[in-house]
């Protein structure tokens, strides 16, 4: 074995030892088995890892009746909570045509402090049978940089199937901008 082969073998052996140490350390820090924890009466905090799309630290809670009829009115109360501090919390609200919102303002701005709650109350009146959505875009702005999160609140009015038109094999739902047409496939 010459000197170069000796150095390469020495480096590979050192690298193998480092990788083995890291893998053993990682395995020793893995979560405790729940059954073992119950048997030995150990105290531990459960941490669940959830993979989600990154979004602004904004939470939304709202109320709405489960069942509405055409012509019903109610107050939609939107409660926003910011999990981080920012310069501004901007809210933009849009809605489908089957709903009428009793406000003239659809854009809101609030100071955004960590855990601060902001409340918006919007009178809603239903106009037609169907399933409609109130779409909300909320953005935290810090030093001119925006991070946004979107919410969509479903509102079911009466019998949603009454808002569908069936003509010559296709289904049209005008309130949702959907047209479903039959299709056929042939191979030659």
* Residue 3 counted as domain residue: no
Count of structural domains within the chain: 1
Task: Please name the helix (run of DSSP H) or strand (run of DSSP E) that holds residue 117, with its range, or none.
Answer: strand 117-126
* Residue 12 counted as domain residue: no
**Distance between alpha carbon 105 and the CA centroid of its chain, in Å?**
25
Q: 3-state DSSP call for residue 66? A: coil
* Residue 154 counted as domain residue: yes
* Residue 38 counted as domain residue: no
Average pLDDT over residues 167-181: 61
pTM: 0.58
User: Measured between alpha carbons, how far is 80 from 89 in angstroms, rounded to an integer?
Assistant: 9
Longest CA–CA separation in the chain, Å: 91
**How much is the pLDDT for 169?**
54
* Residue 148 counted as domain residue: yes
Percent helix, percent strand, percent coil in the chain, to nearest 5: 20, 45, 35
* Residue 31 counted as domain residue: no
| Length of the chain measured in residues | 188
Question: Binning pLDDT at 50, 70 and 90, where does residue 40 land?
Answer: very low
Average pLDDT over residues 17-35: 62
For the segment 54-95, what is each residue's pLDDT rounded down to a tens digit?
777 888 899 888 888 999 999 999 999 888 888 888 999 999
3-state secondary structure 26-57: HHHCCCCCHHHHHHHCCCCCCCCCCCCCCCCC
**How much is the pLDDT for 56?**
77
* Residue 135 counted as domain residue: yes
Question: Binning pLDDT at 50, 70 and 90, where does residue 110 land?
Answer: confident
| Model confidence at 123: pLDDT above 50 | yes
Residue 149, beta-bridge partner list: 138
* Residue 173 counted as domain residue: no
**How much is the pLDDT for 25?**
65
Q: 3-state DSSP call for residue 168? A: coil
To the nearest whole number, what is the mean pLDDT of the chain? 77
The residue that leads in pLDDT, 166 or 121, is 121
**Residues spanned by the domain of 128:** 58-160
Give the domain CATH number at 125: 2.60.40.10
């Amino acid at each position: 074995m010459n000197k170069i082969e000796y150095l390469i073998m020495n480096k590979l052996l050192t690298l193998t030892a480092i990788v083995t140490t890291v893998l053993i350390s990682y395995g020793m820090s893995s979560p405790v088995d729940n059954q073992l924890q119950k048997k030995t009466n150990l105290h531990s905090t459960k941490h669940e890892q959830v993979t989600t799309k990154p979004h602004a630290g904004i939470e939304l809670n709202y109320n709405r009746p489960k069942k509405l009829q055409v012509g019903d009115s109610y107050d939609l109360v939107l409660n926003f909570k910011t999990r981080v501090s920012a310069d501004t919390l901007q809210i933009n609200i849009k809605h489908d045509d089957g709903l009428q919102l009793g406000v003239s303002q659809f854009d809101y701005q609030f100071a955004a402090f960590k855990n601060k709650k902001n409340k918006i109350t919007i009178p809603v009146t239903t106009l037609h049978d169907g399933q409609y959505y109130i779409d909300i875009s909320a953005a935290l702005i810090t030093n001119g940089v925006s991070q946004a999160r979107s919410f969509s609140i479903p509102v079911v009015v009466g019998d949603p199937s009454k808002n569908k038109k069936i003509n010559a094999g296709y289904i049209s739902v005008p309130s949702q901008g959907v047209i479903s047409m039959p299709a056929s496939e042939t191979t030659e």
